[in-house]
Structure 1
Amino acid sequence: MADVGQLNIHSYKNLRSQEIQQVPLFQHEELHAELLVIPPGQSIGRHSHPDRHELLDVVEGSGTMEVGGLVCRGAPGKCLFVPADTPHSLHNDTERPWVLRVTYQERLFPRHLGRLVVRALRGRLTRWL
């Protein structure tokens, strides 16, 4: 992690790797950012995050972004908001690495509160019995 004012996203990436890289850039309480490098031909399959919204900023390269059934081209300068619980995927269909900055804040959404309370109560009841 870098000190304040010292963050250089280009110093973290290894463009020769053929594996998807997730490089932590910073974390402060619930706020996180990471650099995501997707090599040519690689994909991050359809998935969702129940506890966070994500903001994807394309730093360099390009690829296909699918969010909630809508497909768009992600190129430098493009920014995409992915609401919590929304299925999304990324695919680098080019011959160059695709570099994105992913920023998200983990949080507890009201819709999850009921499940957490039930889980906590079950745990206590199990210990008492």
Structure 2
Amino acid sequence: MPTHPTDSTPDRPRIVGEANAETQPDAAGSVWQLTPAQRDLDSNVIVLPPGDEIRRHDGPDLDVLVLVLEGSGTLETAEDAIALYPGAIVWLPRRSQRRFIAGDDGLRYFSVHQRKPGLGITKRPSDS
């Protein structure tokens, strides 16, 4: 396997993960996250064991792209159910309703979206 630069310089292109990296057999949830501090995107690899789910919810106020890496499942939306399979690229418009259900062989997917603004302490506007 080739080596890749991994330094922490924020503006240097580099390999930050491996799509085909194996996860522990009992892994679940977010098993990988994009970590450079200075970035405009957030990204995760999510693993759902067979039959597990991410409950129905309204998504955040930003669009999300999902790439199914392994397994299968169903994405339930407000309108219908979408079959998920390796290689499927799914667009989740902002605030859209979604529920992910893993199939018999589990589900592993990569998601990417604009970084959510962090909570910060700010000064109170002056009373002028």
Q: Where is the helix percentage greater, Structure 1 or Structure 2?
A: 1
Unaligned runs of 5+ in 1: 109-119
Contact 2:58 2:96 in 1 (8 A): yes
Contact 2:51 2:106 in 1 (8 A): no
Partner of residue 57 from structure 2, selected from 41, 44, 47: 47
Over the residues paired in the alignment, what is the CA RMSD in angstroms? Answer: 2.7
With normalisation by structure 1, the TM-score equals: 0.70
12 and 35 in structure 1: CA distance in 2 versus 1, 3 angstrom threshold: farther
Corresponding residue SS for 2:44: strand
Matched with 2:71 is 61
Deviations 1:12-51 (A, max 9, x none): 622333x434421455522011101010110001112332
Q: Does 1:97 align with 2:101?
A: no
Deviations 1:48-85 (A, max 9, x none): 23321110110010000123322111001111100111
Corresponding residue SS for 1:99: strand
- Once residues 20 and 45 of structure 1 are traced to their aligned partners in structure 2, the CA distance between those partners, rounded to angstroms, is 13
Contact 1:25 1:35 in 2 (8 A): no
- What does 1:1-129 align with in structure 2 at a 5 Å threshold? 3=6, 4-5=14-15, 7-11=17-21, 13-17=23-27, 19-26=28-35, 29-94=39-104, 96-106=105-115
Q: In percent, how many aligned pairs have the same letter?
A: 21
- Once residues 68 and 90 of structure 1 are traced to their aligned partners in structure 2, the CA distance between those partners, rounded to angstroms, is 12
Count of residues in correspondence between the two structures = 110
